[in-house]
Chains A and B, each alone.
Chain A
Amino acid sequence: MTVLRTELLELRAGSDVVSVRQAVRTWAIDAGFSLVDQTKMVTAASELARNTVDYGGGGTARLELISDGIRRGLRVAFEDQGPGIPDIEKALTDHFTTGTGLGLGLGGARRLVNQFDIHSRAGEGTRVVITRWK
């Protein structure tokens, strides 16, 4: 797999979540995604970007336009140095929340993409990587 292009965006405040949404939209168009696929990727990114800001205490989003030789894809990695997620399985369960949200963010984002990888340990932050192929 080759990375064709990459960009790192800061996620500190609510307005950065909007910037990440807009960047993911532009990149999804560049990757040749259909309108529905763009919408799914942007929505998943929005959920995860908000988690990074609200629960992770801020962090980064790395966008990557990738190719496996046959098709193009978009990969976005969200990283924070926040408190981490003690029980990932539980966090992925619909309607489970430790905050004031609906608890659809993580599980919902996972349903909207082709690949979803999450690494987190209590006290060591969280890294979520989502990939969607054209």
Chain B
Amino acid sequence: MDRIPILKLRNLLLVTIQVDMHDRLALQLQEELTTRISETGARGVLIDISALDIVDSFIGRMIANIASMSRVLDAETVLVGMRPAVAITLVELGLTLPGVRTALNVDRGMAMLEAATETAMDASEPDDSSSD
């Protein structure tokens, strides 16, 4: 059985989708990822789709679901590496992925998540500031 690996990198989870996913595999990823977020307390999820040569409405919905579920679990999701031909097709298909943050590549996505999680930490732990 195929499986999409989920790597933990500090307080982030990194998912690189490298197979042409059938629908059940996409649903399985959605479940496993939400489980891992709650287990690890990860603050961010980075989904790398640079290996995907298409994103149809089902995969798009799965990505949007992951972003919504992560948000409820207090983690930010950033989608990275979308190929230009995939982006053109997605928009024409009518799928604009509302609520999903995107970055051009893994580096930028990591920077975005680090910035977001640091701000969130600062805001949630005001007593921890070392201003003195």
Binding site for B on A (CB under 8 A): 14-15, 17-18, 21-22, 25, 35-36, 38-40, 42-43, 46-47, 50, 94, 101-102, 104-105, 107-109, 111-112
Q: Can you give 20 A-B contacts (C-beta < 8 A)?
A: A14-B23, A15-B22, A18-B20, A36-B88, A36-B89, A38-B85, A39-B53, A39-B54, A40-B88, A43-B54, A43-B55, A47-B56, A50-B23, A94-B94, A101-B57, A101-B61, A102-B60, A102-B61, A104-B95, A108-B57
Which of B20, B54, B58, B92 is within 8 Å of A111, CB to CB?
A: B92
Q: Within the complex, what minimum Cβ distance (angstroms) separates B59 from chain A?
A: 9
- From 62 to 96 in chain B, residues with beta carbon under 8 angstroms from any chain A beta carbon are 83-86, 88-89, 92-95
* Interface residue tally on B, bucketed by range: 20 to 34
Residues of B with C-beta under 8 A to A111: 92-94
Residues of A with C-beta under 8 A to B10: none
Which applies to chain A's interface (DSSP): helix, strand, loop or mixed? helix
